[in-house]
Structure 1
Amino acid sequence: MRRTTRLFVAVAMLVPLLVACTGGTERSGIVVTTNILGDLTRAVVGDAVPVTVLMQAGADPHSFAISARQAAEIERAALVVHNGLGLEEGVARHVQAAVAAGVPTIAVAERADPIQYTSDESAGQPDPHFWTDPARVRMAVEAISAEVLTEVDGVDADAVQANTRRYLGELDQLDRWMTDRFAAIGAERRQLVTDHHVFGYLAQRFGFRVIGAVIPSGTTLASPSASDLDGLAAAIRTAGVTAIFADSSQPDRLSRVLAEHTGLRVQVIALHTESLTAPGGGAATYLEMARANTEAIARGLSGPTP
């Protein structure tokens, strides 16, 4: 082989590598941080775009971490869908790196009319747990759909729009059902105690009063003091609370200690608050999770006074 021919072949093989190293790699697919957002995104795009969800079923969105391979997937994505407002504490730096690299991203909670925490150590900070209000989920779905149509090249726009309309109809149906189900709970019983502050949006939308949380924070990474538990036990006794709601994917030991500390007959009831389950686990989709939680809350707050 002549020297010029060998040189041409070598350069031809090197060019794709140089392009990849300088950021010229074609971006494709959608990467989603949490599994709740993953379900919403898949409902919107269907089979039109590959969707990769980083958070496994049953994981804690505040603390889950990702591998180097998954971090690379974020930077190669056509779109990164993340919750934002401080929820994904273990993945935030990777999302920030993707933003710096020019990857299109959407912080969904920021597009869902966020509220602020109103009590305990998170007061004044934005609350990222928008999905407990189906009306906010409607806003989130519309935002995801618009971002997909804008940022993902070659997407089947007709399919995405049809999927979005169908899913918004299901959310409207869910919203009406939750409203009717909660209407059966007397106003004096609409009182919530949870393992950490996760139901602010639901409380605002459906007229519940948040008495307090076992972990007086919006993150599971915090921890309560003895005085925190004493104060919450006193508040529970004063309000006549009948149930403490704890995340099914987290240990409920502190919730049970608190229930005993009240000296009253207070149930500890498991909910699916921050993560979907594997198929068959009772909350494999957002719609299934919302219905299961609504039923559990309605039953728990309709029981006998402690």
Structure 2
Amino acid sequence: MRMLRTCALLSATVVLGVGVAGCTGSAEADRPQIVVTTNILGDVVENVVGDAAEVTTLMKPNADPHSFEISAQEAARMDAADLLVTNGLGLEEGLQQHIDRTSSAGVPTLIAGDVIEVLPYTSEDAAGADDPHFWTDPSRMVDVVDALEDALADIDGIDVEQIRDNSAAYRGDLAELDEEMSASFAAIPADRRALVTNHHVFGYLADRFDFRLVGTVIPGGTTLAAPSAADLRDLTDAIDEAGVPTIFAESSQPDRLIQVLASEAGIEVDVVELFTESLTEPGEGADTYLTMMRANTERIADGLTP
């Protein structure tokens, strides 16, 4: 039945002029099809799935999860998926119409934000809204792996034993990462555990590792917002009062605003780039979730440790 549904959807896409190759009964088409929205979740899913299924990640490296778009062919892959994995909590703003469509069509969907303990934004401009950036806390990613393991095990034709083994191995990797982050951050004095970034992305890291969120350049929880002159003045005052030595710019966003903020603050402050909302291409410093988190941990620790 899944094979027939896939062929029908791909045929419809061809009619629309996308030029998708027809169904040929290939080995790839015979394998369970998993589609993931963001590349951070995509890397985690690939580690858990291994070669037990075909994994398609929609978000390209170095993209913005709030605004990336997909092709008609990729939309057809969503419709034909045996499992769709999304972040949820309002992160995939540019993709929400497609997610709503596949959900209405009955495509099995795992929403990561539904299986973790969700934190609200702490800032006044986003008060009450759910924070979707849970991956900055590796212990919450363990909850996602647990739910993913169960969701994959329900798919017909998948190698459940392989999924169980891969899940256990990756949980071990996440536990090791959590220990490394705890040890690195423990060297930062309590009065210097203060974070300033482009926008609100470190709430879960702050909660897990006892940091203070001094503020952000961009208000709210989305990169699609823009700061006012009053926002920058208020944040400048907060930075000056907190005495932070480093502020952090995200790799997915230009750092012009944060450089201006550093200048406006009237204090000596470094600007350090972090990988926060997207993985990179191989060789660019953060091509896997574990690599990204270790790179950020090192940079935060170096930036804030005396």
Is the TM-score greater than 0.5?
yes
Whichever residue aligns with residue 121 of structure 2, its letter is Y
Give the SS at the match of 2:41: helix
C-alpha separation between the residues in 1 aligned to 2:102 and 2:293? 31
Equivalent-residue separation in structure 2 for 1:66 and 1:284 (angstroms)? 21
Q: Measure, in 2, the Cα distance between the counterparts of 1:106 and 1:265.
A: 45
Equivalent residue number for residue 13 of structure 2: none
Structure 2 Cα separation of the partners of residues 55 and 212 of structure 1? 28
Q: CA deviation at 1:208?
A: 0.2
Q: How does 1:8-157 map to 2 (within 5 A)?
A: 20=8, 28-150=32-154, 152-157=155-160
Between 1:78-87 and 1:116-125, the stretch displaced more is: 116-125
Matches of 1:266 and 1:146, distance apart in 2: 46
CA distance, structure 2, for counterparts of residue 51 and residue 27 of structure 1: 10
After TM superposition, what 4+ stretches of structure 1 lie above 6 angstroms from structure 2?
none
Residue type of the partner of 1:237? D
1:4 counterpart residue number? none
CA–CA separation in structure 2 for the residues paired with 1:218 and 1:169: 31
Aligned position for 2:293: 290
- Offset from partner CA, 1:46-91 (integer Å, 9 cap, x none): 0000000000000000000001111111000000000000000011
Instruction: Give the deviation of 1:242 after TM superposition.
Output: 1.1
Counterpart secondary structure, 2:214: strand
- 3-state SS of paired residue (1:284): coil
Aligned positions, number: 284
Distance 1:145 1:272 in 2: 27
Is the counterpart of residue 280 in structure 1 residue 283 in structure 2?
yes
Q: Partner of 2:234 in structure 1?
A: 231
Shift of 1:28: 4.0
Counterparts of 2:127 and 2:114, CA distance in 1: 18
State yes or no: 1:249 paired with 2:237: no
The corresponding residue for 2:163 is 160
Largest Rg, 1 or 2: 1
Q: In structure 1, the residue corresponding to 2:60 is in which secondary structure?
A: coil
Residue deviations 1:102-136, cap 9 Å, x none? 10001102211111001131111000000000100
Question: In structure 2, what is the Cα distance between the partners aligned to 1:206 and 1:20?
Answer: 49
Task: Determine the structure 1 residue equivalent to 2:179.
Answer: 176
1: CA distance, partners of 2:152 / 2:118: 21
In the alignment, the residues of structure 2 paired with residue 178 and residue 102 of structure 1 have an alpha-carbon distance, to the nearest angstrom, of: 39
For 1:9-67, what per-residue CA distance to the aligned partner results, in whole angstroms no more than 9, with x for missing partners? Answer: xxxxxxx79x937xxx9994000000000001001010000000000000000000001
Aligned equivalents of 1:148 and 1:284: distance in 2? 24
For normalisation by structure 1, the TM-score amounts to 0.90
Deviation sequence 1:171-215 (CA, Å, 0-9, x none): 101111100000000000000001000000000010000000000
Distance (Å, rounded) in 1 between the aligned partners of 2:261 and 2:233: 8
Inter-partner Cα distance in structure 1 for 2:242 and 2:249? 19
Could you tell me which runs of 5 or more consecutive residues in structure 2 were left unpaired when the two chains were aligned: 10-22, 24-29
**Residue type at the aligned position of 2:240:** R
Whole-angstrom CA distance in 2 between matches of 1:178 and 1:193: 19
In 2, the alpha carbon distance for the partners of 1:108 and 1:27 equals 23
Inter-partner Cα distance in structure 2 for 1:110 and 1:191: 29
Displacement after TM superposition at 1:217 (Å): 1.2
Question: Alpha carbon RMSD of aligned pairs, Å?
Answer: 1.7
Alpha carbons 2:32, 2:157 under 8 Å: kept = no
Alpha carbons 2:199, 2:218 under 8 Å: kept: yes
Question: Offset of 1:296 from its aligned partner?
Answer: 0.4
> How far does residue 249 in structure 1 lie from its aligned partner after superposition?
2.2
TM-score between the two structures when normalised by the length of structure 2: 0.90
The structure 2 residue matched to 1:264, chosen from 264, 267, 292, is 267
